[in-house]
Amino acid sequence: MSALTELYKEIALCKKCEIAKLRTKAVPGEGAENAEIMFIGEAPGWHEDQQGRPFVGPAGKFLDDLLVSIKLKRDQVYITNVIKTRPPNNRDPLPDEISNCRPFLDKQLELIHPKMIVTLGRYSMAMFFPGNTISKIHGTAQKRDGVLYFAMYHPAAALHQQSLRQTIEADMLKIPALLAEARSIPEARPEPPPPAPAPQTTQMKMF
């Protein structure tokens, strides 16, 4: 079993928060284990709670369209959320819920090790761009520790506020060039030592 699958089991069993009692399914995240790009949303909604999969409701449909616009398929990327359980009535995640779930997100980052992280919405942005506001930094990127971080509005924002749709679409179109740039960022994690040299096989000269 892969380390990621082990982690999904751990997430499904987690009872640290009260909201664990209310969930149908935990929503750990999904996508390519070797994805170069990871999208991090806020929290599962009703549809996600039913299916145990991230971004499968109306906001997810829009995210799918956005991915198509940059010629990426869901199985080429990794998608997860700041918290892995649906808050009741889709309320905002509480600080304790965010900190209880943080080790799961950290483990996902360690295992998937993406070159680019796209934050979707305020909560995810607050984690990676602390002290900023989404209206100021959406569509901008920062390089840190070998990773390119890119902030976007949450796709659901376009469903509530039509005027944001074009902004979100335009920000998404910046991703291909940024991902190309992210690929060229030197690795921050120390490389494992090179394998020991193979034994010499040169033939001894016979006189």
Q: How many residues bind ligand URA (CB under 6 A)?
A: 13
Quick one: 137 or 185, whose CB is closer to ligand URA? 137
Would you count residue 45 as binding ligand URA (CB under 6 A)?
yes
Site string (65-104) toward ligand URA, x via CB under 6 A: ----------------x-----------------------
Instruction: Rule CB under 6 A: say whether 30 interacts with ligand URA.
Output: no
Sequence length of the chain is: 207
- Segment near ligand URA (CB under 6 A); pick from 4-12, 54-62, 94-102, 145-153: 54-62
Instruction: Establish if 42 lies at the interface with ligand URA (CB under 6 A).
Output: yes
Pairing status of strand 30-31 against strand 78-81: antiparallel
Judged by CB under 6 A, the chain residues 136 through 195 that form the site for ligand URA are 156
> Distance between CA 59 and CA 63 in Å, rounded?
6
In 3D space, the residue among 146, 202, 137, 122 whose CA is nearest the CA of residue 174 turns out to be 137
Q: Report, in Å, the least distance between residue 165 CB and ligand URA.
A: 16
102/80 Cα distance (integer angstroms) = 12
Report helix, strand and coil shares of the chain as percent, to nearest 5: 45, 15, 45
- Residue 165 DSSP one-character state: H
Say if CB 115 and CB 82 are below 8 A apart.
no
Q: How far is the CB of 125 from ligand URA (least distance, A)?
A: 12
Distance from C-alpha of 77 to C-alpha of 72, rounded to nearest angstrom: 8
Q: How far is the CB of 55 from ligand URA (least distance, A)?
A: 4
Task: In angstroms, give the least distance from the CB of 105 to ligand URA.
Answer: 13
Site of interaction with ligand URA (CB under 6 A): 41-45, 48, 54-55, 57, 59-60, 81, 156
